[in-house]
Structure 1
C-alpha cells in the first residue's frame, strides 16, 4: 500500500516539475518597435540633451520652444555635464541669451563653445572646439561620452535627408541588465541598464540584434534606414 502511495506521489511530483520547467521555458522576449517621437512631457521631465533636442526638431513652432532652448543650453553647459568638460571657457549668460534670441538652435548653424565668439556653418554641431594649442593638457580633450552626445545632437538637428547614419534607442523594460550585440557591415555593442535605456548611432543597413533578456534569448533581423526605438521585455 505504501509503495502505491509513494508511486502516486512521485508521479505527481514529476508532473508538477515538468509543468514548471515548461512554463519557465515558455518565456519569450516581447519587442516593440516605434519611430522616435518626443512629447512635451518627455522634454519637461528629462535631463538628457538628446530628448530635448529631438523635441525641438520635431516641434519647431511649439509655444514653449524658447523655454526648451534655454533648458537644452543649460544642460549642455552645466558644470557636471560631459559636454562642458572639454570647453576652454564656460559660455557666459549673455552669450546664452544671445543664442536663444537669435533662434540659432533651429537653424542650420554651428554653436562653437570656447573662448572665441560663436561661428556659423552649414551643419549644426554642438561639439566643443578643441584647444588649438598643441601643448594643452589631456584634460581639455573631449571625452568619448561628450563626442557621442555631440554627434547625436548634430545628427538630430541636421536637415540632410541623405544622412548615412541612424540611431537606435533601446528601452529595457526588464529587471536584467542587457548587452545588445548589433552585427552587420559593422559591429556594435550597447549596454542597457535594467529599467533604463541607452542609444547608439550606427551606419544605416541590415543588422542582426541579439541579446539575453534575463533568461530569454532575443534575436532579430532589422533593416535600419531611420531612427527607431525598441522596447525589450520578457513575457510573464
Structure 2
C-alpha cells in the first residue's frame, strides 16, 4: 500500500491524495475498484485523475465531502481510490493457466455480490486445484479484507481476473476452446451428477437472487443443475459452487 492508505471500519481499503491516487492509476490500476472525488471540485490534478480513470476503464464518482471523510479521517485532498486486497490476473493469462491446473476449470461469477460467498468459493477452487475465478468489475463483490478472511487467505494465492463485461469474458473463454457450463435451471438443464464434464472448462455461477444474466448465459454450451432429494428452494451460490467444483474435480482432476 501507499503511504496515504487506510482500512475503513467496513474492511475496505482506500488510497487517498492526489499524487498517491495518480501513481496507483498509472502503475497498478487493476487493483482500483472505484475512485471517489469531492463534489464540486475542479482543478488540474482532478482532470488528470479522471483522464486516467477513463483511459484505464476505472469507474469514478463525485460524492459529498462527508463521504470522503468517512473513508479517511485526515487530509484526503478530495480524492480516494477504493482498492482490492489482491492483485488481479489478466484474463488472457488465466485462460492460458487453465490447461496446466490440477483441475482445468475456471469459475466465472456473474454479479455475485456477497464477499463471503466469493471468498468461500475461492477457498474451494484453490483447495481442489481449479485454475482461478473471474469476477465482475461492476456490480460484483468488493474483494477486500472480508473476502480474504472468508477464503482463509486462499484468494491471495488464487488467480482472479476482473471482467468489465462478463459476457465478453465468457465469450473469450469459449473462443479459446473452453467448454462453458452454466449453473441454472432451464428446459435443457442436465443433472450435474450425470453430466460427463469436458475439460478445460468454465463454470458460470449467477447472482444470489437473479441468477446468470441472459447475455452471459447465451455463450453457455450446457446448462446444469444440482438435483435435490427433497423439496427445497435452493442452495446459496457458495454451497452450489462447492458441489459443482467438487464434481468437476472428481471427473477431471489430474
Question: Shorter-chain-normalised TM-score: which range?
Answer: under 0.3
Q: In terms of Rg, which structure is larger?
A: 1
